[in-house]
Structure 1
Amino acid sequence: MAELYPSTPSTPSRRTTLRAAGGGTLLLGLGLAGCRSAVSESGATDPKAAAGPRRGGTVTVAVNSDFTPSLLFSQSGQSLQQRLVFNTLTRYDDRLRPQPELATSWDYAPDGRSITLKLRTGVTFHDGRPFTADDVVFAVKNLQNPLRAAQLRATAAAVTGFDKRGDHELTLRLAHPVNNLFDLFEFMIITDRNSVEDAVTGKRLIGTGPFKLAKWSPGTGLSLTRNETYWQPGRPYLDGVELRVIPQADALISSLRTGQSQLSFNVPGKSLAIVKNNPDLTVTSYDTGAGAYYLGVNTTVAPLDDKLVRQALAWAVDRERLLKQALGGYGLDSAAPWPKSSPAFTETGRTHYTYDPGKARELLKAAGHPRLRLPLLHISLPGDTALAESIQYDLKQVGVDVTLQPTDPATAQKNLISQNMPALWTMGHGFAQVQPSTLAVSAYPFNEAKNTSKFRSAAYTRVVREAWTSRATGAAANAQQSRISDILLDEAFIIDLVIRGNVQVASTTLHGVTLNKFSYLNLDDAYLAG
């Protein structure tokens, strides 16, 4: 199996990261076409692909849950379609260096208190309205709105002023430096400010992206058609995209094997062996660190308010078996949230908790709770159910009996946001694959100010805020990240289990698929051959 998380190259300098000579055709091409590493397990070269891109055809993407309009501005399992309809300002390459998209270049002030963006000209929304600096101002203010439930709201809120110089140059003034501004720029979709309320109800989705919404059929999926006035000349190649909801794993796999679907990122890990040997399908693993599966703990529910009990749970789970059985070996067993591509990753953190049921039982006994009975919420999809069942089995071995509570994805996400979780839950989290500070100021499970576990700590807040607003690099930055990791591991209010990679299953006729750091699907350069 291809290694999902290769060793991280040396971290680029801050000046390289924060400034880019942008706007040239060559730089733009590198930013969009070569932005994400992926390793195909087939190793084969398709002669039809070598003939070059061809125009036409519709790609059907099999997804296991429906588009949820109310979560449009938050990152979740329903975010795959974001980059099909909308653009973002910038886009990271594999080394977390921002590349141009709707912003062609930028200049950070030396004190980190402002950034000036030059914006792409000649871009129009799907309804024909020109894209201008006002749309960027709206996008930032929109994420500042607490009703949008956007994970990067704290970063958006650091923007306190806007200075426009015509329609295509804009300076953002910041209340204080933040080291994850380009995370915001890649996360923040640029929506039409005149129809945003229709967007969050699913009535209209108007962006500047390569495809336009033709129809949303709740429970069935999205139908998208080519944007004939897209700002990238000659793109997209495809006539359209269908995102088809197929929640049952067997049916989803069947749709791929029979050619009814050409692409999916939702084949359960333990089922990947079935499709891997199909000559008409290609399995590709992305090294972006798509997120992690974790065990969440509500620290207001006794005895989970005792960190000894939480640490016992962390020792009780067999991460290696979970990785193999629930995820088919695709990922990295880890007690810390960071993928190997993150500057915060350390092998010491990854192995801080290993499988030690004896130690788990000792800690539970020392805390005075040798037997416990607790509920465990999980998403009612095949892969998530397998994960929950594995956790249930492990916890039972140390005297913790859990009752599974299956929940649909949209409800689970809303409960996560509203802090309405039972004693235990298991889900996936993102945001460890970008700047490390983003996880602790943005992700719902980890947010230092308001997290789903209801964990509060002055020490945690202090180290997170220091890292977020710091301009440190090298050893100093590593030390800040290490302090965050130390608290996460010691307090164990979120118990990380497996870093998962995005695993793409695609027809051998489909080429040019990429993902951004937030797992937004990019089909600008995708085409069908054969």
Structure 2
Amino acid sequence: MTELYSSTPTALSRRTTLRAAGGGTLLLGLGLTGCRSAVSEAEAPAGKAATEPERGGTLTVAINSDFTPSLLFAQSGQSLQQRLIYNTLTRYDDQLKPQPELATSWEYAKDGRSITLKLRTGVTYHDGRPFTADDVIFAVKNLQNPVRASQLRATAAAVAGFEKHGDHELVLKLAHPVNNLFDLFEFMILTDRNSVEDAVTGKKLNGTGPFKLTKWSPGAGLGFIRNEKYWQPDRPYLDAVEFRVVPQADALLSSLRTGQSQLSFDVPGNNLATVATTPDLALGEYATGAGALYLGVNTTVAPLNDKTVRQALAWGIDRERILKQVLGGHGLASATPWPKSSPAFTEAGRTHYTYDPGKARELLKSAGHSRLDLPLLHLGLPGDTAVAEAIQYDLKQIGVQVTLQPTDPATAQKKLISQSMPALWTMGHGFAQVQPSTLAVSAYPFNEAKNTSKFRSAAYTKVVREAWTTPATGARANALRQQITDTLLDEAFIIDLVIRGSVQVSAKKLHGVTLNKFAYLNLDDAYLAG
């Protein structure tokens, strides 16, 4: 039987101070991981112990793009609010070991074909309805529905049956073993089965989480109040939370520096040096990163159907310059998707493609090309535009003329899901921060069965499926991960550039903020001191 862990959230971790100089400090892998706080108890005001939380107050969070209800069940840049409204079954600790949330314990069958969950009692939805096993059954079936566009649909679809033992014990029967079931449990929000259609239109978001949604003002933001009947005793500490949409980088930075906002994860990297010199603000970084920036390639558009051309693009981009100039040095230049916290990370993979415009030109020439003209779609946000401009400049040096196509985040996400991207696009991806098999069976850019690049390979499918159904530890698991990495590097249908630093900017009076592995904001223990 899996050990019944304490459900008390993880303690606050050490604050890492970022260098104010232009290059910044590389912080990935220094112990601030995705389910821990990036701000330290040591930052409590003088005379105020961080172990004595204060109650009350409103926290304002600055975000750079609005909530998109239609993407509620897909991982995107608009997922920050998920954990305020909804709980999940489990959450990972720093070592990817699952901890209880609404599932208090679990036991796998010896053959790996079923798992028994014991569920927390005394939990109610915001409307007063009790949480039961039926809500878990609904949540799984909901993600199995292709309409929901969930990246973890394949894992949800591996659940082939359910067996209830009362209201608070449930057996999930699996069609085949999978090694990323707890990725699903951390990702899957336990939404209200009676109002799900209202949820995806933004009319009603009814969950079991620490805060209730009071308003959604499209284009302006979200408002939340404390859930007085939250299942975790005496939590949350805050009375209210406001998400304020501030799309312009300068205005977002100003809102933090003037105290109009107390928290943001959307400050562009090249602005972080300014933040580091602001006395009332703290900076911290999560070791799992904030996903990777990448160049996507539509392999059905000639001559990008030739992997030699794709490899030329991979050699032709200066990753270190993007890291320094666009991200302020916060992150990791990498040709692979894996952060240093991933068991799939290798230094050889990270440096497989370095900046070599001469080699890029030679490869293009060998494929019969001296000049190409291609469109490049990108998000019309300041940081994303800067990445696109850097790619445009680098590719021009090797004879590839790029026309930029800015678009809004919601439209870009829909194009990503529907495989309707132009020849080239640049965005960010996640899913490399959890079990490595999840990336290739779940993330839209990498999905072995139906990816945005329209890349198909029987060999890629075979190794991904084997990696997904093989136990996650041991020599065989490591070999399969390496095969996936080698395929990604050789085929170059997704060209990874930089693992972004997941940087938290917060008022020094704010404590107890955490993120889960899918960047859901957890404010159960958050409070404002003074």
**TM-score, normalisation: structure 1:** 0.94
Instruction: Find out whether 1:46 has 2:28 as its counterpart.
Output: no
2:437 is matched with 437
> By how many angstroms is 1:370 displaced?
1.2
Equivalence for 2:204: 204
Q: Distance in 2 between matches of 1:267 and 1:39?
A: 15
Partner of 1:12: none
CA–CA separation in structure 2 for the residues paired with 1:260 and 1:356: 45
Q: Describe the superposition over 1:470-491 as per-residue Cα deviations: whole angstroms up to 9, x where unpaired.
A: 1262221100100000000000
Matching of residue 362 in structure 1 with residue 362 in structure 2: yes
Cα distance change on mapping 1:69 and 1:492 into 2, 3 Å: same
Please give the secondary structure, in 1, of the residue aligned with 2:112.
Answer: coil
Deviations along 1:445-480, whole A, 9 cap, x unmatched? 000000000000000000000000112622211001
Q: Deviations over 1:329-372 (max 9, x none)?
A: 00000000000000000001000100000000000000011100
Q: Percent identity?
A: 78
Q: Distance in 2 between matches of 1:275 and 1:190?
A: 36
Aligned to 1:277: 277
Counterpart Cα distance in 1 of 2:172 and 2:434: 21
2:310 aligned with 1:310, yes or no? yes
**What is the alpha-carbon distance in structure 2 between the residues aligned to residue 472 and residue 352 of structure 1?**
25
Provide the rounded CA distance (Å) in 2 between the counterparts of 1:67 and 1:424: 26
Map residues 31-430 of structure 1 onto 2, 5 A cutoff. 31=10, 36-40=35-39, 44=43, 46-47=45-46, 48-50=48-50, 52-430=52-430
Deviation readout 1:41-78 (Å, 9 max, x if unpaired): 99755333536101100100000000000000000000
In structure 2, do the counterparts of structure 1 residues 97 and 42 end up closer, same or farther at CA, with 3 Å as the change threshold?
closer
1:20 corresponds to 2:2? yes
Verify: 1:29 aligned to 2:28, yes or no.
Answer: no
Give unpaired runs (5+ residues) of structure 2: 14-33
Q: Which residue of structure 1 lines up, in the alignment, with residue 497 of structure 2?
A: 497
Query: Contact (CA 8 Å) 1:114, 1:172: kept in 2 or not?
Result: yes
Distance 2:517 2:43 in 1: 26
What letter matches 2:157 in structure 1?
A
SS in structure 2 at match of 1:412: helix
Q: Structure 1 residues 335 and 492 mapped into 2: Cα distance closer, same or farther (>3 Å)?
A: same
Tell me by how many angstroms 1:293 deviates.
0.3
User: Partners of 1:41 and 1:399 in 2: how far apart?
Assistant: 48
Deviates more, 1:151-160 or 1:28-37: 28-37
Give the secondary structure class of the aligned counterpart of 2:191. coil
Tell me, yes or no, if the aligned pair for 1:379 and 1:406 is still in contact at 8 Å.
yes
TM-score computed with the length of structure 2 as normaliser: 0.94
Q: Aligned letter for 2:382?
A: P
Superposed CA RMSD in Å reads 1.4
User: Matched residue of 2:107: which SS?
Assistant: strand
Aligned partner of 1:8 in structure 2 is none
Q: Is the 8 A contact 1:331 1:499 kept in 2?
A: yes
Check the 8 A contact 1:282/1:508 in 2, yes or no.
Answer: yes
Is contact 1:151-1:443 (8 Å) kept? yes
**Cα offset for 1:509?**
1.1
1:38 deviates by 4.9
Deviation of 1:289 after TM superposition, in Å, equals 2.5
Give structure 1 stretches of 5+ with no counterpart.
1-18
Q: Which amino acid aligns with 1:493?
A: F
- The one-letter code matched in structure 1 to 2:35 is R
The total of aligned residue pairs comes to 509
Tell me the secondary structure at the aligned position of residue 506 of structure 1. Answer: strand
Query: Hey, what's the Cα distance between the residues in 1 that align with 2:388 and 2:499?
Result: 16
Q: Could you tell me how far apart the structure 2 residues matched to 1:204 and 1:181 are?
A: 28
Matches of 1:205 and 1:298, distance apart in 2: 36
- Distance in 2 between the 1:235 and 1:41 partners? 20
Alpha-carbon distance change, 514 to 38 in structure 1, aligned in 2, over 3 angstroms? closer
1:211-232 per-residue CA deviation (whole Å, 9 max, x = no partner) reads 0010000000100010000000
Where has structure 1 moved over 2 Å in runs of 4 or more?
30-51
CA distance in structure 1 between the aligned counterparts of 2:249 and 2:471, rounded to whole angstroms: 46
Q: 2:394 & 2:117 partners in 1: Cα distance?
A: 51
User: Would the aligned equivalents of 2:275 and 2:281 in 1 still touch at CA under 8 Å?
Assistant: yes
Please tell me the residue identity of whatever aligns with 1:36. C
Structure 1: which amino acid aligns with 2:508?
A: T
Task: Give yes or no for contact 1:292–1:500 (8 Å, CA) kept in 2.
Answer: yes
Shift of 1:31: 5.0
Conserved? CA contact 1:290–1:518, under 8 Å: no
Alpha-carbon deviation of 1:288? 1.8
**Aligned residue identity for 1:425:** W
